[in-house]
Structure 1
Amino acid sequence: MERMVGTVVRGIRTPIFREGDNISDMVVDSILKASEVEGFSINDRDIIAITESIVARTQGNYATIDAISKDVYSKFGDDAIGVIFPILSRNRFAICLRGIAKKAKKIVLMLQYPSDEVGNHLVNIDLLDEKGVNPWTDVLTENEFRNYFGYIKHTFTGVDYIDYYKSIIEEYDTECEIIFSNNPKTILNYTTSVLVCDIHSRARTKRILKANGGVKIYGLDDILTSSIDGSGYNETYGLLGSNKATEESIKLFPRDCQLVVDSIQARLKEKTGKTVEVMVYGDGAFKDPVGKIWELADPVVSPAYTKGLEGTPNEIKLKYLADNNFAHLKGEELKKAISEHIKNKESNLVGAMEAQGTTPRRLTDLIGSLCDLTSGSGDKGTPVVYIQGYFDNYTK
């Protein structure tokens, strides 16, 4: 009988992962058990995706606010620190801010507006128009911001992040001044010692600051790049990609992920004879239409993946073929014509009209988004996702 199903995505339930666990064995065992219980086979080019969280947990890649504080102080000493462009997040940044503030004498906190880098809004952009405020040129003090816009709570969290971040800083008797600007150079009017907290635009921000008189310029990716008194670390991303673990600690983005994906691929090959692809994923890369939040608060969607996940899709738009090339056909003739066209498609369809609308993003970004939506971030208990048929097309 003709196959009637394309891509199938399964969230795989696993044991709770702890520091020191053998993640490769646990993931492979969970996949094989799920295969047996649910009655699906393991095939070549299936995909196993595992959340970055369980990799970091098994590594014990955690750090306390004391470790953060010690590293920040080693770089800035008693200087007033400009903390600029942080995202508005209790989970992602608040605990990091505790570590930054703990030993600091003064922090000048510079927030982007109307929203942060990933779309968390401080104020609705329509209200800026109403008040005649230009976010690209106008620099606002805290009082000026309040006079214009009042006290606004986040759409989803119900938190006033201005007050929340200020309270964290002042909890340590650290002086706090808050300003609002989208121009990195603004902070240099207050201090030349700056901690850059944006994620995807951090290289540009650092470059601008260094070119315009910044003296001590570091980013979150420069903090905890090595262990502090036995803490976890990430040599590439530092504090970027970290999550709240407790009120006093964070879980860092995992390191050495390539070893993990290669090991899982090899172990499953030993047990089944099949070559599956494996990747570690964090945040997906998609935007919420209500809150306007771009999900990607991690520095990358996937920090490691096996070779078969390199590249982008090379796909033809079926409806384009049906409406243009083969508009005169229908039924079995149409099916055969489209199938034959797909079998003989060019190896690189970039720019081809028949590929328009397929948006060839990187495979790992597409698959990571699929997995993030499948596993969620709550209590589903499926930190491993198993995907079948992703590389199939209409002819298979």
Structure 2
Amino acid sequence: MSERKVGTISRGIRCPIIREGDNLADIVVTSVLEAAESEEFALRDRDVIAVTESVVARAQGNYASVQAIAEDVRAKLGGETVGVIFPILSRNRFAICLKGIAMGAKKVVLMLSYPSDEVGNELVSLDKLDEAGINPYSDVLSLEQYRSLFGENRHPFTGVDYVDYYSQIVREAGAEVEVVFANNPRAILDYTKNVLTCDIHTRARTKRILLAAGAERVCGLDDIMNAPVDGSGCNERYGLLGSNKSTEDTIKLFPRECRDFVLDIQSQILDKTGKHVEVMVYGDGAFKDPVGKIWELADPVVSPAYTDGLEGTPNELKLKYLADNDFKDLSGQALKDAISKRIQEKEDNLVGNMASQGTTPRRLTDLIGSLCDLTSGSGDKGTPIILVQGYFDNFTN
């Protein structure tokens, strides 16, 4: 048998537009098998079928209105003055949530982290902070101080001045707004003891600090809409985290429990092709843009559900390390044979082994989910299913 000349392949798979109530597992299986037939490729064991979280949530009908958010915020935080701290600056991710939050309060004290939000959207540059002699770790700025020091700051990609935009949203929702800038969560307690912390990946620490400092009521975004309100959707584990704007008055929540969904696809593919594939649901990839400094991951996790074969991290040897060190005197077929033998004999756990340095010690779901997110894009490609083949191959396969 001739040697295979291609390694990993990532394909976007087209499928029909998904609506609430569709049997998504059947649609995914049919779409992948039809693509394989039309493009003349075969499925193989350990291929990965990945489905974007947005169509999973859509099929589940997992939506909530701003009124439902308002009701939940009012019930959990008292409906008077609420500190809304560390939100990310995003029209798609947070603006609609903020509308609902403000509808559930009389006054919102909006405390923004600076110079940027948690995922890297900049309010002001570090250089400007240095020029102004401001220490972001200790200094709390009022809106007046912020404006006199830094003026208006429009986001380089969206052209939006988020300070003004978020203030406007709160006022239009019928609440009073006060904006402050600080990075120490305790600073909000000078304004109110009822706090909604809107950070994503640092939320557990923020809640702990606030409670220890004397806050009375503390919720994270994961505590709002974590149960249905008047028949709405919800997310038991993540609440409002991972939600996206659907309309001006509704959000699409992160998918609810979808482990059964990935197992269903895996089982159907096994029945129809005899191949054991892995399946995952993916949202944002986990990578950072070196120019805009924005970290992509605004979802609470890259993958909310996946089959067991995607557990863990890669266990790989660095080919160039072996070529430059262990086998530096070999070349050609002898070098190839020596490296192949080393790969075939590699230990099950290479942690601490110098020959694995420089390989990526990230979770498989984070790596493959990032590949899928980049393949599907965030716009109009129309490929919410990604088929990844050869990901688990190595030099010897």
Do Structure 1 and Structure 2 share a fold, with TM-score over 0.5? yes
TM-score category (smaller protein): over 0.9
On the 8 A contact 2:13/2:35 being kept in 1, the answer is yes
| Correspondence for 2:129 | 128
Per-residue CA deviations over 1:8-29 (Å, capped at 9, x if unaligned) read 1100011000000000000000
On the 8 A contact 2:69/2:104 being kept in 1, the answer is no
- Does structure 1 residue 181 correspond to structure 2 residue 182? yes
Amino acid at match of 2:100: G
Cα shift at 1:178: 0.3
Identity, in percent, stands at 67
| Correspondence for 2:273 | 272
- Does structure 1 residue 28 correspond to structure 2 residue 41? no
Amino acid at match of 1:353: M
What is the alpha-carbon distance in structure 2 between the residues aligned to residue 338 and residue 105 of structure 1?
A: 67
Cα shift at 1:179: 0.2
- Give 3-state SS (helix, strand or coil) of 1:283's partner: coil
Cα shift at 1:221: 0.4
Cα shift at 1:79: 2.3
What is the alpha-carbon distance in structure 1 between the residues aligned to residue 283 and residue 290 of structure 2?
A: 20
TM-score when scaled to structure 2? 0.99
| Correspondence for 2:55 | 54
| Correspondence for 2:85 | 84
Matches within 5 A, 1:162-173: 162-173=163-174
| Correspondence for 1:380 | 381
Per-residue CA deviations over 1:172-216 (Å, capped at 9, x if unaligned) read 231100000000000001100000100000000000000010001
- Give 3-state SS (helix, strand or coil) of 2:324's partner: helix
Matches within 5 A, 1:91-240: 91-240=92-241
What is the alpha-carbon distance in structure 2 between the residues aligned to residue 305 and residue 103 of structure 1?
A: 36
Cα shift at 1:360: 1.4
- Give 3-state SS (helix, strand or coil) of 2:325's partner: helix
More displaced, 70-79 or 85-94? Answer: 70-79
Per-residue CA deviations over 1:61-93 (Å, capped at 9, x if unaligned) read 000000000111111223210000000000000
Cα shift at 1:315: 0.3
Amino acid at match of 2:23: N
What is the alpha-carbon distance in structure 1 between the residues aligned to residue 316 and residue 77 of structure 2?
A: 51
Cα shift at 1:151: 0.3
| Correspondence for 1:371 | 372
| Pairs aligned (count) | 396
What is the alpha-carbon distance in structure 1 between the residues aligned to residue 147 and residue 291 of structure 2?
A: 24
Amino acid at match of 1:180: F
| Correspondence for 1:313 | 314
Matches within 5 A, 1:256-295: 256-295=257-296
Amino acid at match of 1:204: R
What is the alpha-carbon distance in structure 1 between the residues aligned to residue 42 and residue 117 of structure 2?
A: 45
Cα shift at 1:104: 1.3
Per-residue CA deviations over 1:239-284 (Å, capped at 9, x if unaligned) read 0000000000000000121011001101111111111000000000
On the 8 A contact 2:313/2:363 being kept in 1, the answer is yes
On the 8 A contact 2:106/2:176 being kept in 1, the answer is yes
Cα shift at 1:351: 1.0
- Give 3-state SS (helix, strand or coil) of 1:270's partner: helix
Per-residue CA deviations over 1:322-381 (Å, capped at 9, x if unaligned) read 000000000000000000011001111111110000021100000000000000110000
Cα shift at 1:148: 0.6
| Correspondence for 1:41 | 42
| Correspondence for 2:329 | 328
Amino acid at match of 1:77: G
- Give 3-state SS (helix, strand or coil) of 2:395's partner: coil
For structure 2, the 5+ residue unaligned runs are none
On the 8 A contact 2:280/2:303 being kept in 1, the answer is yes
TM-score when scaled to structure 1? 0.99
